[in-house]
Each structure stands twice: as structure tokens, then as C-alpha cells.
Structure 1
Amino acid sequence: MAMVHLYDNTPSTRFGIDNSVASGANARSEDRIKKPVINVNEMRQALDDLLRTNTSVEQLLIETHGGPGKIGIGVDVIDHTFVNSWFGDRGYERLFASSARILFNGCNVAEGANGWRFLEAFGTVFLKLNGGQVTGWTSGGSSNPFNGHVVHLWGDVRSVFFAPGGTILERFEQ
């Protein structure tokens, strides 16, 4: 089984400092399948490629910029209202092993009522076959320049747990 790291590869520089998601993602040394993307179409293509190669995903890390209840890839924004139309009925649920985990490592993705809706919508589409867990942060974060990991110093972690078949078992916040 594989860990897949799907991340926003859009260049971003502010005040002469590279603050792109890719800079942190590329600094990591863990063994994983890396899928850099710059828009939603490339994200779907990356997932389609995993389907074609019969990859069994145990963990999916999606690293992007975010906001309450949404992620951004390039100029594309994905919120709970678009998850099913962009990703539903494409067979992505076949990628995920039993009890797979999906983590959104982006600022504020799980914040507020729309944060819960986003996690639920994503899990309903991607984990409807075998169940699992979708997790996101309610806070902003910053990238550690030494190891590329994003650090969240405040806020909560929210998770939604799904049974096989896509039924929500529990919402959990810590």
C-alpha cells in the first residue's frame, strides 16, 4: 500500500521568499508517491494515473493553500459544493484501502461549519467503498524551512470517520 502526496505546485514568492506549497513538499524525504499539480484538471489526472496503475492508497496527503471549508490549487478553489461534481463518479473510491486516511494539510481547511461540510463531502466521495478517515486543520500554519513540514501552532484538528458504504460514523475534534 502506498502513501500519496498530492500538492499544489504553483510557484509563489512573497517578499523575495518562496512560500509555495511545493517548497515544503519537495523538502520532505519520506518515501511516498509525489503528485505535484497546478489545477483541478491536473489533480484529477494524477488520481486517474493512480487508478490506471491499480495503486492501493493507504494514506493521501493533500497539501495546498486553504481557507475555511476549501482548498486552493493554483487559481482553482474546491469547496464542499464542488467535490462531487469534480470528483464523483470517476471511481476514485477504488483507490483507497480499508480504513484509509486522507489528510488536508492546508490553512483553515476544517474551520467552521463549511470545514465540516468539506471533510464530509470529500470522504463521502473518496471513502465510500471501504471507509476511513478525513482530517484537516482549523488553523493557519507555516512551513518549517529546515524540513518542509507545515507547523500549526493553534487551532484544532478535525476528523470525520466513515464506515464502508460511506456512512459517517463520527465527527471528532481535538
Structure 2
Amino acid sequence: MNTARLAAARQRIETSRARLIHTFYPAHAQAPRASNASASTAPPASDWTSALGADAPWDALRRLALRWWQRQTWHGPVELVAGTVLRQARPLVRRHPWAALAAGAVTGALLVGAGPWLLRGTRRHTAPLRQQLVGSLWATLGSASVQVALASALVAWMERHNRPDTAASSTPSPTPAPPPTPDGAP
């Protein structure tokens, strides 16, 4: 009796989860699942940005950061350690979600509380560097060639963003059904 109720509850949860994934990540719901058991079932992060606009400026920044990260010599070892820690921590977090949330909140509060004492020396030593960086940035942005490049990039992005979808306009619109005749014949 209990196992039947448990199985029915699990089925309802899985159905609800599938509907949510299909609603929020339609491309992920139609993609074939990876056969690797360690593969995550979560949709890729790019689905969030594509939902907000595939040509969004932060998407280009995300790709740039990802390319930089993949070229680092320590990318492989960090990915290996992070994957191992994730596989080990995931069952614990699933068993005790409230404890994991509380641990994260405590860690965040400690970092925020200890931040001023930990960063005091760093701020003092990096102040001249920050001033040089800001001055260099303003000098670079004052250059006409940089302003033209930024303006043309902004205009190109706005044109792509405001352009109607060509794939939607190339499909023929369905012809409406003719109105019914008074005698009922089609």
C-alpha cells in the first residue's frame, strides 16, 4: 500500500518536473538525453540567456569568459575536482536541503562580516593600481576610434535585436478554412 502511494507520488512529481522543463527550456526538453549517468539533467546555462535574447551583450561576454577559462592550464584539474566534489555533495544536499541552505547562509554571512577586515590590506595596496586602471580606461574611451567602434557595435546589436525573425516570416501562413455554407455542404 505504501509503495503504491510512493510510486504514484513520484510519478506526479516527475510529470510536473517534465512539464516545467518543457515550459522553461523547450530546446532542452526536445534534446536527446546523455547516456552518461554522471551527466547533469539540468538544462545548460545558455538556455537562460537565449530566453532573454540570443544576441544579448552578456552572451558574448559569457562566451568570451568560457573561452578564456577553457584555455587556462589549470582548467582540467579544476573541472575534475569540481566534478568530484559535486558528485560527492549532491546526495548530501538532496538528503538535507535545509541544512545545505543554512550552511550557505552562514558562509555568506561570515564572508560579508569578515570582508572589511580581510580586504583592508588588499584595498590599500591596490588603490594606486585601481586609479591607474580607471584613468587608462577613461583615456581609452576618450579616443575617437574606440568611440566609433563601440557605437558601431551597439548599432549592430540593436539592428539584430530589432530585426524580425526571418525563419518565422519564411513559413507560409495557413489558409483559413472557408466559411460554412447555409445548406451545410462543405
TM-score bucket of the superposed structures, by smaller chain:
under 0.3
From the two aligned structures, give the one with the greater strand fraction: 1
From the two aligned structures, give the one with the greater helix fraction: 2
TM-score, with length taken from structure 2: 0.20
TM-score, with length taken from structure 1: 0.21
Larger of the two Rg values belongs to structure: 2
